[in-house]
């Protein structure tokens, strides 16, 4: 069985990924695109993204539906479960977290449809193994049609005396042990479900995620991932880079994908017309409307205004959007 490998980043809407920003070491987004076009641009390069804004607040249904319209039908969204459930109520069933969790999951499933990927349950740093029963109850009532990965952040869950019990519990419910690369927890790679989930946090100081992986470090993970793919029960591997400052995450994600033999798209080779269409701001009148079903390369007929970036016909003398005279 071929294991599907999906590599992306944790989040996509960072301003310091945009070109001509003094904080950006590794520009990812072109300077001319707007914030509403970032997801559409991102999806031209990566097959998946981990939504981390859902950790801080419950996304509106209109926002979730908008995400789905801006990407290709094969794109996959993973998403973090809100901290109101994990950090404030700490999975305490008596505090009624299910009254928030169920509508949240319904919202994500309805909006994303077939694009929905794993949910990530990131436990609080001091959520120790003394809460084993809470986690067991949570998994017992988790809907089996939504993949779930759990990121432990307290050493008690992975210490030798407890690790077997932790992994056995996850295997019982086909829940993935979230494999992490960070300073405080060991980078162990147990497979507990029919998919694997990896998060690359980095090894920086203040904070950890302000970090850029070297090729030498990534090659170590290439060997680990290839070993993981030998597991006959594994169907998918999701990998997300959380070292987002200054554009390191998309740069490292592309490097790892390349080292693993994945097809790469360069940011400067992205078809901006596709981006504009998916973002919902391409012209309503398309040349395709008039030329029939024959395949055509629109780049032969259109160009962009150098002043405002609006799409124009190659023969136009003035930009209708800003009025600038167009250079031949």
> Is residue 277 situated within a structural domain?
no
Distant-in-sequence, close-in-space partners of 290: CB < 8 Å, separation ≥ 6 = none
CATH at residue 45: 3.20.20.410
Strand partners, 196: 237
**Does one domain contain both 18 and 60?**
yes
The pLDDT score that the predictor gives to residue 100 is 92
**Does one domain contain both 260 and 316?**
no
**Does one domain contain both 203 and 159?**
yes
Three-class SS string for the chain?
CCCEEEEEEECCCCHHHECCCCCCCCCCECCCCCHHHHHHHHHCCCCEEEECHHHCCCCCHHHHHHHHHCCCCCCEEEEECCHHHHHHCCCCHHHCCHHHHHHHHHHHHHHHHHHEEEEEEECCCCCCHHHHHHHHHHHHCCCCCCCEEEECCCHHHCCHHHHHHHHHHHHHCCCEEEEEECCCCCCCCCCCCCEEEEEECCCCCCCCCCCCCCHHHHHHHHHHHHHHCCCCCCCEEEEEECCCHHHHHHHHHHHHHHHCCCCCCCHHHCCHHHHHHHHCCCCCCCCHHHHCCCCCCHHHCEEECCCCCCEEECCCCECCCCCCECCC
**Does one domain contain both 254 and 287?**
no
Strand bridging mode 48-51 / 236-241: unpaired
Cα–Cα distance between 249 and 181 in angstroms, integer?
13
Relative orientation angle of helices 61-69 and 98-112, to the nearest 10 degrees: 30
Last residue of a domain, one of 269, 295, 312: 269
The stretches in the chain having pLDDT less than 50 are 284-298, 301
**Does one domain contain both 100 and 228?**
yes
**Does one domain contain both 20 and 102?**
yes
> Is residue 275 situated within a structural domain?
no
> Is residue 252 situated within a structural domain?
yes
The pLDDT score that the predictor gives to residue 320 is 57
Cα–Cα distance between 258 and 28 in angstroms, integer?
16
Q: Are 317 and 328 in contact (CB under 8 A)?
A: no
Q: Are 265 and 273 in contact (CB under 8 A)?
A: no
> Is residue 195 situated within a structural domain?
yes
**Does one domain contain both 105 and 184?**
yes
> Is residue 299 situated within a structural domain?
yes
**Does one domain contain both 220 and 301?**
no
**Does one domain contain both 80 and 195?**
yes
Q: Which two tokens stand for residue 86?
A: 């994990």
Total number of residues shown for the chain:
328
How many domains, in total, are found in the chain?
2
pTM value is 0.84
> Is residue 119 situated within a structural domain?
yes
Measure Cα distances from 164 to 37, 103, 167, 190, 238 in Å: 45, 33, 5, 10, 23
**Does one domain contain both 195 and 234?**
yes
Q: Are 228 and 194 in contact (CB under 8 A)?
A: no
Relative orientation angle of helices 215-228 and 248-259, to the nearest 10 degrees: 50
Domain limits for position 79: 4-269
**Does one domain contain both 155 and 12?**
yes
Closest CA to 243 of 16, 38, 34: 16
The pLDDT score that the predictor gives to residue 217 is 95
> Is residue 278 situated within a structural domain?
no
> Is residue 258 situated within a structural domain?
yes
**Does one domain contain both 212 and 304?**
no
């Amino acid at each position: 069985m071929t294991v599907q490998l999906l590599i992306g980043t944790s989040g996509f809407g960072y301003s310091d990924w945009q070109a001509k920003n003094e904080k950006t070491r590794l520009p990812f987004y072109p300077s001319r695109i707007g914030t509403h076009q970032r997801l559409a641009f991102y999806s031209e390069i990566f097959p998946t993204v981990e939504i981390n804004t859902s950790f801080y607040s419950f996304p509106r249904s209109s926002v979730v539906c908008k995400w789905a319209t801006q990407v290709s039908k094969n794109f996959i969204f993973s998403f973090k479960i809100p901290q109101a459930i994990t950090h404030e109520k700490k999975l305490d069933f008596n505090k009624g977290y299910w009254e928030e969790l169920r509508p949240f999951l319904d919202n994500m499933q309805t909006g994303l449809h077939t694009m929905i990927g794993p949910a990530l349950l990131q436990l609080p740093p001091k959520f120790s193994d003394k809460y084993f029963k809470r986690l067991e109850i949570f998994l017992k009532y988790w809907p089996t049609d939504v993949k779930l990965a759990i990121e432990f952040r307290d050493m008690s869950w992975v210490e030798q005396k407890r690790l077997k019990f932790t992994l056995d519990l996850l295997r019982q419910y086909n829940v993935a042990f979230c494999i992490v690369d960070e300073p405080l927890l060991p980078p162990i790679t147990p497979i507990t479900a029919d998919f694997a989930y990896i998060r690359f946090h980095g090894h920086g100081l203040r904070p950890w995620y302000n970090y850029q992986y070297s090729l030498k470090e990534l090659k170590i993970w290439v060997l680990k991932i290839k070993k993981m793919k030998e597991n006959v029960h594994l169907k998918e591997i999701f990998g997300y880079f959380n070292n987002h400052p200054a554009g390191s995450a998309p740069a490292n994600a592309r490097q790892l994908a390349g080292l693993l033999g994945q097809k790469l798209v360069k940011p400067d080779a992205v078809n901006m017309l596709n981006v504009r269409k998916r973002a919902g701001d391409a012209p309503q009148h398309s040349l395709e409307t008039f030329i029939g079903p024959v395949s055509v390369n629109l780049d032969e007929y259109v160009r962009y205004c150098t002043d405002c970036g609006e799409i124009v016909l190659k023969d136009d003398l003035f930009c209708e959007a800003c009025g600038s005279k167009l250079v031949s």
